[in-house]
Structure 1
Amino acid sequence: MQEIDTQFGLLNVVNAPAYSFESQDNVQSYELEVLLTRDRLTSIYGIALNGRGIMVVGAGGGCSSVHDHSALVLDDKLYLAVGDHVACLSLSLPHRLVWSAQVDMATCFGIYWKHSRGALISHGELEISRLSLEGELIWQTSGADVFSEGFRLLPDHIEAVDFNRTVYRLDYATGEARVS
C-alpha cells in the first residue's frame, strides 16, 4: 500500500488483483473503473480517498505492484505507474482519467517528479521516459539490459543502472545517455 497526504485528504493506493471489472461481486467497490488496455490485465490498483473507494485502474504489460514510487500527486492530479502505463487521474470532482500513456514495452517500475527540472520521469523495465504533465512523450531512452539495479533523480542527471550494472546518466532535457 502507498499512502499520500493530499489537499483532498488521505489517498491510499493498493494492489487489487482479485478485482473483476464490470462485476457486482467485488469485495471492494469503486466509483470509477478505468481500463488502460483491452489486453489481458496484469496489474490492478485500487485508489481510496479518505477511506472511500474512488477509482480502480487496470493495465496490461508486465505485472507491477504498489510501492513508494507507484503514485505521486501534483496539485489535483494523481500520476500512477501501473503495468506498462502511466495514467493521470483527476482528484477533483468528477474523478476521471485525464490521460494515459504506455511508457514501457514491459513494465513501468515507478513514476518520479523532479520539481527543479519540471520533469515527470517514468522508470521502466526497458525504457526511461520523460513525459509532459499533459501526457506527451518528450523523450524515451533504452539500455543494453533491463533497468533493474538502481534508479535515482540527481541534481544534474538521472541515474539508471541495468542488470549488468552498467550505469546510465541521462540528461533531463534530451534523455541523451552517458554510459559507464
Structure 2
Amino acid sequence: MFKAVNDSRIQMSELMLPSYTNFGGKIHGGYILSLMDQIAFACASKHSGSYCVTASVDKVNFLNPIEVGELVTMKASINYVGTSSMVVGIRVESENIRTGKKKHCNSSYFTMVAIDENGKTAQVPGLRLDSKIDAKRFIKAIKRQESESKKNKALSSVYKNVSDHLDLLQNYRVRVDF
C-alpha cells in the first residue's frame, strides 16, 4: 500500500505566550523543539496508522528568534519512508499578527519509527510521490542518510586510533598533555 504525501501533511499554529520565554525574553528553543516533536509524531502516526517514537532529530538551526505574541505555524510532511521508519520534514514560521510579517525560524527532519501493540517495529505504507518537490524531498533524505553514514565511518576511525588524528589539533586552541 502507498499513501500520498498530502494524506499525512499536518499544520498547526500556536500563539506564543510569555510563559514560553527564556532568560533573554525570546521563545525558548526547547519549547519549539517540543512542539516540533509533537507535530512529527502526529504526521508519522497519520501516515503509518501506528504509534510512533522519535528515533533521531537532524540538525536544528534556529535562524530567527520568536517573540512573545507571535503566531508560530509548523508544517510537517513525510519526506521519506523506509520499512518502519519515516523522515518527517518540519518547517517553522512565526508571524507578527499585527503587521502580518512572517519569518522562517527553522527547519528540521525528525526520523520516526512505527511501533506495533507489542512494542516491535511495524511496517509503514510506501510513499506515493505526486510532484517533483515530493521527489526532491525523498532524494534529499537519501543523500542525508548517505552523508550521515560516511560521517559515522570517519568518526569511528577517530575512536579506534586517536593517535592517527592528533595532527588535526595543531590549528586549534587546545593543549594535548598525553
When the two structures are superposed, what TM-score results if normalisation uses the length of structure 1?
Answer: 0.31
Give the strand-richer structure, 1 or 2.
1
Give the helix-richer structure, 1 or 2.
2
Q: Which has the larger radius of gyration?
A: 2
When the two structures are superposed, what TM-score results if normalisation uses the length of structure 2?
Answer: 0.31
Greater relative contact order (CA < 8 Å, ≥ 6 in sequence): 2
